Copies of this chain bind each other. A is one copy, B any other.
Amino acid sequence: MNRLMKPGIRERETLLNSGLLAALGVESVAAMMEIAVIGNLPARQILFREGEPADLLHCVLSGYVRVYKLDPDGREADVELYGPGDLIGASVVLDGGRYTATAQAAEPALIARFDLKRVRDIANRRPDLAVALTHALSAQLAKAFASLANDRLHTAPQRVARFLLAHCIVEGKPASFRLPYQKSLLAGKLGLAPEALSRAFSMLRGYGVNVRGRLVHINDPEALRRV
């Protein structure tokens, strides 16, 4: 946890647009800004570990944070990937519980931290914060359900195709874009080994998908939609 500091102009700006603060009234925003602490994380830094007492709520300002669970022999399963504006650790907002997974910066990241006890205090006084938390959690739950179903219903190439389609906004036409993060991260997010992601990409070449480095070009989104 390097370089703790109060939020500056830029950080306040980003926080205001984050999922949590965007819908709050001015007074609640002020209260949250008051308790925000900004931190700069190097890649691979751990934010918290599964089982530790949960005392902080985190909000990503830039970069990506990977949240995963471990099994007894040390294998990791990514459970969620958080980017700018996302709230981390909301699954423990409640009682003085414990983190249910481990969070690690996947690349250099800027994050805001809020003391959970104080967040709870504010939420108990101000319904708008409590409701905003409810919204954030709802969205995350829906995403988690989608991942679960995605894992169980679709093959690796299908999952990759769906990810690509979700990331090229244009409708019918060819599209190009840059992957937002490393392929190994993407593999984890999709519940795949990196090798499987690689093979999925090469299979998708047959469907008009070209990948070079992080650059992706899609010739025919419609074809992609059909597996």
Contact = CB atoms under 8 A, between A and B. Distances in A.
Interface stretch (A89-97, A106-114, A166-174): A89-97
Given A127-B127, A130-B131, A75 B153 contact: yes
Interface in A109-150: 120, 123-128, 130-131, 133-135, 137-142, 144-149
Contacts of A148: 77, 79, 144, 147-148, 151, 191
B79 A145 contact: yes
A217 interface: no
B141 A137 contact: yes
B138 A91 contact: yes
A154 interface: yes
Band of interface residues on A? 35 or more
Contacts of A149: 68-69, 71, 77, 79, 101
**Chain A, interface SS category:** helix
A77 B152 contact: yes
A127 B151 CA distance: 36
Interface in A11-59: none
A133 B129 CA distance: 12
Contacts of A134: 93-94, 123, 130, 133-134, 137
A157 to B, nearest CB: 14
Contacts of A92: 138, 142
Contacts of A219: none
Interface string A174-193: 00000000000000000100
B93 A153 contact: no
A142 B69 contact: no
Interface of A: 67-69, 71, 75, 77, 79-80, 90-95, 100-101, 120, 123-128, 130-131, 133-135, 137-142, 144-149, 151-154, 191
23 contacts: A69-B146, A69-B153, A71-B153, A71-B154, A77-B148, A77-B149, A79-B148, A80-B145, A90-B141, A91-B145, A92-B142, A93-B138, A101-B145, A101-B149, A123-B131, A124-B127, A125-B127, A127-B127, A127-B130, A130-B134, A141-B141, A144-B148, A151-B191
